[in-house]
Amino acid sequence: MQYGVVVEELAGEVMAELPSDQARKEVLALIETVRMGPRAWPDVRDAGAWEEIREAFGRRCWIQYMPHAGAIEIRELGWVG
């Protein structure tokens, strides 16, 4: 199944403020990896939560996302580089 990507507003703002093109490329590469296998990363939701929340980590970045039927929703992203 091919997955699309939906980026929440705050995650989009962080993406726009990344320090370099290389940083954006690294974040986009992680998003693409997650898009291709959204359930390969651990589920980190709190006990009793109904929303499936997962986190994926790159070398200098991370994303928190929700897999949906046919898409992943990027809720948060961070850069530590």
What is the pLDDT tens value at each position of the chain, 81 positions in all? 456 888 888 898 999 999 999 999 999 999 999 999 999 999 998 888 889 999 999 999 999 999 988 889 999 999 997
Pick among 3.40.50.360, 3.30.2310.20, 3.90.1310.10, 2.60.40.10: CATH of 4-79: 3.30.2310.20
The residue to which tokens 């994926």 are assigned: 56
Phi, psi angles (nearest 5°) of residue 68: -125, 170
Show the tokens assigned to 14.
């962080």
Report pTM.
Answer: 0.88
For residue 2, what pLDDT is reported? 52
